[in-house]
């Protein structure tokens, strides 16, 4: 993060853009923090680390102009800064050590799986589909962690057959399935599958209800307070085919206060320490800033807080402490480019700027009320005095891309509008609603752009029909 902020600050200086977030604090500030709305240029801290404003004020990422990418590959378009992705992976490995896993639900394709593996992270997959993509990318199964609250026989059999590194057990039904399936997955009788048990520590992380997962009333894992977690340990230990190596918990996503993770460790410690297990995974969930009023701790600060809490809570020093960041690896590496098709000025109400994508490429605003920023790549260092609502092209009033956007006053039909911080839970949650083809995804680095996921065509929309 320091690196990112330094580079952003340098670019901002060159471009005369503002850059005032405080990266020093290890507690972030999430939605609702009371800084004033920003009419200045987009904050460069929100942009990928190689973002640079050139002399004319347009923005390049990875050495490629965003406007050129929009022309060449069309819009909507997901653009990822490969150097940024790699830097975040390296930061995670440096902070957590071997075993830290990228949560592929944030964004997954073959190129992403390979990049993450090359940078030394494990991959967390939570469905047979994510498992399939990771294996197809050539990631060794031994470096995969399989999650899921309702793993099917088929998913478990595939995981066992390929030899995944860890299965995170989530229910008593799953333990029964594993008891049946592990012997079938091997010709020898001494096959043992390494598993972890997912527990719900009863922590109410400060985040949106839909992405909060650590509370007792949850579909995930085994409750600590109810005694279910202790029963699960007994059941798993009784099965010769399973090797219980650790405990896992995940308190939620988009968590800005690292205190919440320290609290998680304190709650887990009393359960974990007496078990004498070698591994403890604290899950993912580190928040990232989406708008100028938010700040988040770095991955390094998050790991440091967790390690300190582990020492303080009496967790043995030789325990392997791991985590599963998704959003904090991918989110701010990505930008979405859209083309403006319609501008409606409703006097006394608001201005609607309609773009050629929407809830089908980014459902987060409609799902969670998530805020984003918008800017014009042709004028990245320009002030944004115009208040507007950036909306999509879908048949829903809730199809909002940026509810309270600021844009330069001269925005016109045909402009390319960019929304930063769309690298996580955007493309991965994309749909074909209204039969809108999904966008292409390009990775940019060193002045080169490569398509890692091609744009869907109209023919793709009927590909599955009988």
Ligand X SMILES: Cc1ncc(COP(=O)(O)O)c(C=O)c1O
Contacts with ligand X by CB under 6 A lie at 103, 105-106, 124, 147, 250, 253, 283-286, 324-328, 424
**C-alpha distances out from residue 24 to 42, 228, 229, 257, 300, Å:** 21, 40, 37, 14, 12
Q: Answer yes or no: are the C-beta atoms of 113 and 83 closer than 8 Å.
A: no
Dist. CA 122–CA 112, nearest whole Å: 12
Q: How many CB atoms lie within 10 A of CB 202?
A: 19
- Fill in the DSSP letter of residue 42: P
Beta carbon of residue 464, minimum distance to ligand X (angstroms, whole number):
27
Residue with tokens 């930008």: 335
User: Catalytic amino acids?
Assistant: 395
Q: At a CB cut-off of 8 Å and minimum separation 6, what does 418 contact?
A: 59, 66, 335, 336, 337, 338, 374, 375, 376, 377
Contact indicator for 393, 355 with CB cutoff of 8 Å: yes
177 vs 327, which CB is nearer to ligand X? 327
Dihedral angle of Cα 244, 247, 250, 251, to the nearest 10 degrees: 150
User: Whose Cβ is closer to ligand X: residue 193's or residue 253's?
Assistant: 253
Minimum CB separation of residue 125 from ligand X in Å reads 10
Q: How far is the CB of 365 from ligand X (least distance, A)?
A: 17
- Tell me whether residue 124 or residue 264 sits nearer to ligand X (CB atom): 124
C-alpha torsion sign, points 151, 154, 155, 157: positive
**Looking at beta carbons only, is 411 or 424 nearer to ligand X?**
424
Nearest distance from residue 380's CB to ligand X, in Å?
27
Q: Tell the burial category of 93 from Cβ atoms under 10 Å away from its Cβ (0-12, 13-18, 19+).
A: middle
Taking the least distance from each CB to ligand X, the nearer of 325 and 357 is: 325
Shortest Cβ 234–ligand X spacing (Å): 23
């Amino acid at each position: 993060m320091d690196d990112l902020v330094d580079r952003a600050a340098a670019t901002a200086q060159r471009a005369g853009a503002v850059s005032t977030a405080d990266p020093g604090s290890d507690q972030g500030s999430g939605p609702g923090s009371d800084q004033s709305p920003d009419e200045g240029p987009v904050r460069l801290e929100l942009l990928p680390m190689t973002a640079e404003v050139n002399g004319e004020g347009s923005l390049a990422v990875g050495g490629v102009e965003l406007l050129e990418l929009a022309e060449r590959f069309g819009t909507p378009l997901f653009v990822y800064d490969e150097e940024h992705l790699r830097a975040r992976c390296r930061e995670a490995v440096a902070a957590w050590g071997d075993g830290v896993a990228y949560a592929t639900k944030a964004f997954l394709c073959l190129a992403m799986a390979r990049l993450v593996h090359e940078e030394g992270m494990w991959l967390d997959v939570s469905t047979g589909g994510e498992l399939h993509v990771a294996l197809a990318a050539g990631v060794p199964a031994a470096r995969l962690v399989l999650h899921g609250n309702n793993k099917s026989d088929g998913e478990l059999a595939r995981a066992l057959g390929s030899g995944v590194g860890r299965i995170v057990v989530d229910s008593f039904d799953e333990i029964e399935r594993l008891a049946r399936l592990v012997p079938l997955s091997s010709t020898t009788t001494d096959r043992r599958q390494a598993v972890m048990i997912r527990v719900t520590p009863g922590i109410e992380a400060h985040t949106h209800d839909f992405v909060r997962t650590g509370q007792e009333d949850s579909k995930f894992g085994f409750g600590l307070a109810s005694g279910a977690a202790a029963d699960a340990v007994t059941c798993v230990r009784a099965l010769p085919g399973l090797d219980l190596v650790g405990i896992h918990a995940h308190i939620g996503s988009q968590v800005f206060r690292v205190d919440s993770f320290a609290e998680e460790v304190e709650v887990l410690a009393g359960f974990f320490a007496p078990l004498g297990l070698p591994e403890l995974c604290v899950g993912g969930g580190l928040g990232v800033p989406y708008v100028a009023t938010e700040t988040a701790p770095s991955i390094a600060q998050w790991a440091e807080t967790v390690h300190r809490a582990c020492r303080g809570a009496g967790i043995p020093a030789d325990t392997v402490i791991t985590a599963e960041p998704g959003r904090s690896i991918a989110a701010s590496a990505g930008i979405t480019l859209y083309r403006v098709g319609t501008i409606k000025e409703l006097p006394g109400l608001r201005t609607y700027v309609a773009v050629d994508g929407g809830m089908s490429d980014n459902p987060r605003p409609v799902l969670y009320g998530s805020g984003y920023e918008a800017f014009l790549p042709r004028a990245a260092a320009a002030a944004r005095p115009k208040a507007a609502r950036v909306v999509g092209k879908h048949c829903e009033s809730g199809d909002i891309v940026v509810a309270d956007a600021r844009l330069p006053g001269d925005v016109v039909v045909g402009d390319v509008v960019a929304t930063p911080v769309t690298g996580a839970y955007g493309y991965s949650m994309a749909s074909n609603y209204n039969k809108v083809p999904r966008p292409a995804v390009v990775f940019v680095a060193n002045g080169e752009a490569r398509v890692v996921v091609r744009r869907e065509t109209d023919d793709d929309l009927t590909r599955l029909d009988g």
